[in-house]
Every structure is written in structure tokens, then in C-alpha cells.
Amino acid sequence: MRWMVPRPPVYLPALLSLLLACGPGEVTMGPGGQLEHASAATLLAAGDIAGCSEKYNDEATSAMLLTLAGTVAALGDVVQKNGEHWEYRKCYHPTWGRVLSRTRPSPGNHDYRTAQAAAYYEYFGGLAGPSGRGWYTYRLGAWRIYSLNSERSIAQQAAWLQKQLAATPSKCVLAYWHRPLYTSGRNPGESSVRPLFDVLYKARAEVVLSGHNHNYERFAPQDADGHARAAGIRQFVVGTGGAPLEAFVTIQPNSQVRRADRWGVLRLRLYQDSYSWEFLPVGGGERLDSGSGACR
């Protein structure tokens, strides 16, 4: 059974404007909705999220988010059918919409099943970056974050990304988009996003996050050609936001951890020159994956 939430209060647009003006790297929302500053920034990530049938578990993952402070990265396919206006209102908004003000999304293929992802851009507004484009950057603590669009304009994004990385250099860099370059899941790796991964690898970025396959997978650091590299990018697939889970098909090189039995969110703690991660499952219990790395 789904529940509906009241209409957003009249002060919400002003609050959203304040958050965007300050930047999610400077202000985050605490579990009770209070503005808070933190010495280590936190990013909470998952994709493949909401649907209006009982087989979706986005109610449980959103309940987790309400207890966790940090910026929320929605890794595409935030609604799972056709990206229609009613799906954002009736499926996504009652669950993950409760943390809308601290969400920084990227679009997925289901979001683009409505022409030009019009409902996605209307629902998220300025939180999704420039309308109709689907890629943007922000600071989160000491880190530079890039939210990119795996569905459109890859060459244009790669050129923009290269210029941004040169113009705003940062020791610690993380990017996310929907379709992964590497995955052992049902949908094969998306070769079209390789230019994005390659630009980030050459800039010595640390982490890339994606969704698309409905499971959790972590890869060892590697380059855009799939070669394990000590100075490579560590990629996570986190398609566990609520859509029905899917088994792995063909295990890819450098795949280190795989879970297809639990929904959950990835929590990344972003420090001045390092990071740590935990995959937090619905229902609590042990962390299903955890570790740490250093910025280069």
C-alpha cells in the first residue's frame, strides 16, 4: 500500500533556491530536516527506484534515506515505466520525493521514454541542472561531483567535462550517470559512455557510480579499456533503489563484489583526500560491502 504526502509547503521553493545557491557541498539536510554542516560530506546513491506496483521497494529505501544525513544521488530511472508526469507524482514523490530538496539526480532510459524526458525536468526543476540538458557539476565538501547524462549528447558532454576538469581542478572527483560502462548484469556495459569514463580516468578521478542493472556491483580500479590500474577509477553499479532485483549473467573482469538479493543505498563518506563506502541494505544488519580509498 502506498501513501500520499501533502503538497509541499509554500516555503519549499525558497528553501530549494537557498540550497542551490549555497551548493550541496556546503549545506546538507540532516535526518530531521535540519540544515547541518559536516566535516566529512556524505553522498547517498541508488538508481532504478520507483514504481506504483507492490513489486517495488522504494518505500523501504526512502525510509532509510530519512534516517541518513547527506546529499542524495538518484542514478537514473527514478521512475520505472514511461517517465510520465503521473509516475513522478504518484510513484516517486510519496517515497523518494520526501528527500527531494537534497536530491541531485541524473536521468535514465526510462525517464526518456517521455519525449525529451520532459516530466523528469519538470519534476526536478533546477535540481537536475540546466533544463533539457541533463548534466551539471557541484561541490560536495572537498570533492568535485559531476552528474552526467548517459542517454544523450555524449561527445558534447565529454568536451564539456574535459574543460570543467581543467578549469576547476580538484584532488578528489566523483561522477555518476545511469548506464554503466562495466557490469555483470542483464543489460551489457554501455560502450557509448566510454568517452566520459576515459576523460575522467585521464583526469585521475576516483569514483564513478551508475545504475541500470537492478543489483549491486563493485569493480576494482580500472581504465576505460577494462584494464586493472592502481590509479584507475573504482566503479559501482547501484541499481537497488526499489525496482525488482535482477540476477547477474556474465561475470566481468575486475568485478569484486556482487549482490542481487537486497535493496539498499550506497553511502560514501567524502573526506579531504580520501573516501569510504558502505552498501547499506534495507532492513539493517551487516554492511554488505565496505572499504576505503585515497584521492590521487
Express each pLDDT in 199-214 by its tens digit.
Answer: 999 999 999 999 999 9
* Contacts of 131 by beta carbon, 8 Å cutoff, 6+ apart: 121, 125
pLDDT tens digits, one per residue of 93-142:
999 999 999 999 999 999 999 999 999 999 999 999 998 999 999 999 99
Residue 234 in contact with residue 226, Cβ under 8 Å? no
Residue 126 has what pLDDT? Answer: 95
Which domains are present in the chain? 12-294 (3.60.21.10)
* Contacts of 34 by beta carbon, 8 Å cutoff, 6+ apart: none
Parts of the chain with a pLDDT under 50 = 1-38
Nearest partner of 52 among 85, 81, 76, judged by Cα: 81
pTM score, two decimals?
Answer: 0.86
Residue 80 has what pLDDT? Answer: 86
- SS3 string, the chain, reads CCCCCCCCCCCHHHHHHHHHHHCCECCEECCCCCEECCCCEEEEEECCCECCCCCCCHHHHHHHHHCCCCEEEEECCCECCCCCHHHHHHHHCCCHHHHHHHEEEECCCCHHHCHHHHHHHHHHHHHHCCCCCCCEEEEECCEEEEECCCCCCHHHHHHHHHHHHHHCCCCCEEEECCCCCCCCCCCCCCHHHHHHHHHHHHCCCCEEEECCCCCEEEECCECCCCCECCCCEEEEEECCCCCCCCCCCCCCCCEEEEECCCCEEEEEEECCCEEEEEEEECCCCCCCEEEEEECC
